[in-house]
Structure 1
Amino acid sequence: MSFETPGLINEARRQIEICNACRYCEGFCAVFPAMTRNTDFAAGDLSHLANLCHNCRGCSYSCQYTEPHEFALNVPAILAEVRQDSWERHIRPAALARAFHSRGVAIMGLMVLVIAVFFYAARSGGEGSFYAVFSHNTLVALFLPAFVLPLLSVALGLRSYWRETGGRRITPGDLKGAFASVAVMKNLAGGHGEGCNFEKENRYSQRRRFSHQAIMYGFLLCFAATGIATLMHYLLDMPAPYGLLSPPKLLGIPGGILMVLGGVDMILSKLKADPTLGAQRVWGGEMAFVALLVAVAASGLALYAATGSTLMPGLLALHLGTVLTLFLLLPFSKMVHGFFRLAALIVEQQKKRG
């Protein structure tokens, strides 16, 4: 499917109104109970439903109105398109998001290569400590703005999305409900807890849920490892590298392994899934993003294994290239979906309480 935004919204409204009249899939996931609150669907209502959707596809495999029926419903695909459109409209500049999702592999590969070559050419030392290769101050000067500025772009986009979907003042209960759902990937378990139909069509599977959990918790462990390492550097005067039993390694190594395992499994699942039930125009960008996550984690693990060897400077340059690329592409890659989905879950908690 490929629509300009007005046509996309009109087609989404047509399909959702048919679903709302049928209600056969009411217990499948969070989208369908949320749908029943409305009789008319504004663009903001559709954006909200789309960001609640996890593209599990169970509704499509159960639907009596998919093609060749004249209604030709494809709810997972149309919501995937609306979801993608919401990110592109609210994150600025939108042209960068569209470019990444249409040429994701090429853009990602080129950025990693250029940045890694830059770091390797700019190295100031040889083997041993990371900071013998690149000074700590240099890395902070490069990575701090590359992390903060994309987050600012995401924050501005979320503010716009929040207004469009009717978000209100957040309460502790809103946060509790939303984070509880995220923690267990509740919506990827389906309405009955049996999983979703992403890669096995009409058979339920928990595989996609587990791969998402592995990536999310792996990323959080790696982020925590970096945070603790920063505190150790500044507060305890303990610069890297750190030993196997140090807090950064006890968190970072399992985190990296989880990210690699979850990312590879997600790639395999996406290769098995029916592409017509998603946003086909952004398939390459989605795969590039998952591959980038795997590259970040795998290069980090390889870097630790090579510490003190002649391979370390090259692997450090590669790892820094993947991490900096991830940061710079944050607002424009599918990484942004986590922020929008959390916002949708918070809004949903608010709508439930009236």
Structure 2
Amino acid sequence: MRLDDPHEEARRVLRLCNVCNYCNGYCEMFRAAERHRTFSDGELATLAHLCHNCRNCWQACQYAPPHPYAVNVPLVLAELRLLSQAELAWPRPLPHLGLLTLGVTLLPVLLVLLLVPGEVLFAAHTGPGAFYRVVPWGVMSLAAAIPLGWSVLALAVGVARFWRAGGGGSGAEMRAAAPEAIRDAVTLRNLDGGGAGCDEGYGSLSFQRKRFHHLVFAGFLLCLASTSVATIYHHLLGLEAPYPYLSLPVILGSLGGLGMIAGSLGLLGLKRGANPATSAPAAQESGRLLLIQLVAMAVSGLVLLALRDGPAMGILLALHLGTVLGFFVALPHGKFAHAPYRAAALLRAALERRKDER
């Protein structure tokens, strides 16, 4: 009974869910869907991003395959998330994103091999400014700022389109609902399966995916904090990298890198055991690419930290810079884009809850 058009299939499935209501305790998506009798494409995109792919509804649903109704909420909404992001993205999604990011990652290594004299590239540089003897600070900063700025702009345009398609909202309403949305985003309230944990495909419920997500998020924030502190050191205090091992930027970056590695490897392991019946292959591929990028950034950064006083520093610095640039290039079209879209969907849900309470 499954329909070919993803929007029509989502409408069919969610109408059945609204009649049944059995899964309303699992997550905000079902409660938000219940507020609608008809679903515009923008509303469907919002509901798709409210779904955190917990998959408890799949196990609980009496109308799941092989029932003739063939209700498969996780798969339908995963496909719709990909479709809506592709439709709303600006510019249009890039083909072969994995190959593109690999090329961008390796490009700095190739450039330093071609442009930096061997006696400089493979020399042991120590002390303040050692990194910049291989790659000048201006070149490094510009190389990172251009793709990051472009990707942030592209993400902002896509999320703005997503917000308007879902119905918009006044500034005052958004400010009032923002604390609830931030709480839901930070705590991942909708990734606990209604309090019992999520189905990870191996027969029992657990909170592992939620915990691994928190590790990745905390690690990412610590790395961001490390970069911010290093920027203050450089521009306000006149202190140049590399910094001592017990300095604040190094401690924050090391802890952040370890968190990203642990969380990303954990999520990769869970993906291997995921039920293919509830997973969109393209979404799985996109998710793996992001996790591999995060691991590559963290591992290359930690290896650079460990070997920065030796002759391998120049190549390791270029490789780490390449992993960061590859991550920046993939931001608006890869799996990372689901984070701001989901935050906007949580804000929309908080707005609707507040209206219901009036």
Same fold by TM (over 0.5)? yes
Alpha-carbon distance between aligned partners in 2 of 1:198 and 1:24, rounded to the nearest angstrom: 20
Match of 2:309 in 1: 308
Alpha-carbon distance between aligned partners in 2 of 1:265 and 1:255, rounded to the nearest angstrom: 15
Q: Does 1:121 align with 2:114?
A: yes
Match of 2:35 in 1: 37
Match of 1:173 in 2: 176
- Which deviates more from structure 2 when the two are superposed, residues 241-250 or residues 119-128? 119-128
Post-superposition offset of 1:121: 3.2
Post-superposition offset of 1:99: 3.7
Alignment check: 8 A CA contact 1:167 1:350 kept = no
Post-superposition offset of 1:235: 0.6
Alignment check: 8 A CA contact 1:120 1:313 kept = no
Larger radius of gyration: 2
Match of 2:205 in 1: 204
Structure 1 counterpart of 2:197, which letter?
G
Give CA deviations for 1:65-123 in whole Å, capped at 9, x if unaligned.
11110001111000001111111111123241x543xxx3x443333223432244334
Structure 1 counterpart of 2:279, which letter?
G
Match of 1:86 among 79, 84, 87: 84
Match of 1:225 in 2: 226
Post-superposition offset of 1:173: 3.1
Structure 1 pair 25–3 and aligned structure 2 pair: CA distance change class (3 A): closer
Alignment check: 8 A CA contact 2:219 2:257 kept = yes
Match of 1:182 in 2: 185
Alpha-carbon distance between aligned partners in 2 of 1:53 and 1:324, rounded to the nearest angstrom: 30
Match of 1:109 in 2: 102
Alpha-carbon distance between aligned partners in 1 of 2:15 and 2:116, rounded to the nearest angstrom: 59
Q: Does 1:50 align with 2:48?
A: yes
Structure 2 counterpart of 1:111, which letter?
V
Match of 1:70 in 2: 68
Q: Does 1:160 align with 2:157?
A: no
Structure 1 pair 168–176 and aligned structure 2 pair: CA distance change class (3 A): same
Structure 1 counterpart of 2:87, which letter?
R
Secondary structure of the structure 1 residue equivalent to 2:179: helix
Alpha-carbon distance between aligned partners in 1 of 2:96 and 2:134, rounded to the nearest angstrom: 34
- Which deviates more from structure 2 when the two are superposed, residues 331-340 or residues 118-127? 118-127
Alpha-carbon distance between aligned partners in 2 of 1:84 and 1:60, rounded to the nearest angstrom: 20
Match of 2:152 in 1: 151
TM-score when normalising by structure 2: 0.92
Alignment check: 8 A CA contact 2:271 2:284 kept = no
TM-score when normalising by structure 1: 0.93
Secondary structure of the structure 2 residue equivalent to 1:242: coil
Give CA deviations for 1:268-326 in whole Å, capped at 9, x if unaligned.
10001112212123422221121011101111111101111112111111111100000
Alignment check: 8 A CA contact 1:55 1:198 kept = no
Alignment check: 8 A CA contact 1:108 1:288 kept = no
Alignment check: 8 A CA contact 1:199 1:270 kept = no
Alignment check: 8 A CA contact 1:51 1:340 kept = yes
Percent of matched pairs sharing the same residue: 36
Structure 1 pair 305–338 and aligned structure 2 pair: CA distance change class (3 A): same
Structure 2 counterpart of 1:227, which letter?
S
Alignment check: 8 A CA contact 1:286 1:334 kept = yes
- Structure 1: gaps of 5 or more residues: none
Alignment check: 8 A CA contact 2:177 2:354 kept = no
Structure 2 counterpart of 1:42, which letter?
S
Task: For 1:226-241, list aligned pairs within 5 A.
Answer: 226-241=227-242
Post-superposition offset of 1:9: 0.3
Alignment check: 8 A CA contact 1:60 1:74 kept = yes
- Structure 2: gaps of 5 or more residues: none
Alignment check: 8 A CA contact 2:102 2:326 kept = no
Structure 1 counterpart of 2:161, which letter?
S
Alignment check: 8 A CA contact 1:212 1:262 kept = yes
**Count of matched residue pairs:** 344
Secondary structure of the structure 2 residue equivalent to 1:332: coil
Structure 1 pair 73–151 and aligned structure 2 pair: CA distance change class (3 A): same
Structure 2 counterpart of 1:112, which letter?
T
Structure 1 counterpart of 2:109, which letter?
A
Structure 1 counterpart of 2:68, which letter?
E
Structure 1 pair 3–332 and aligned structure 2 pair: CA distance change class (3 A): farther
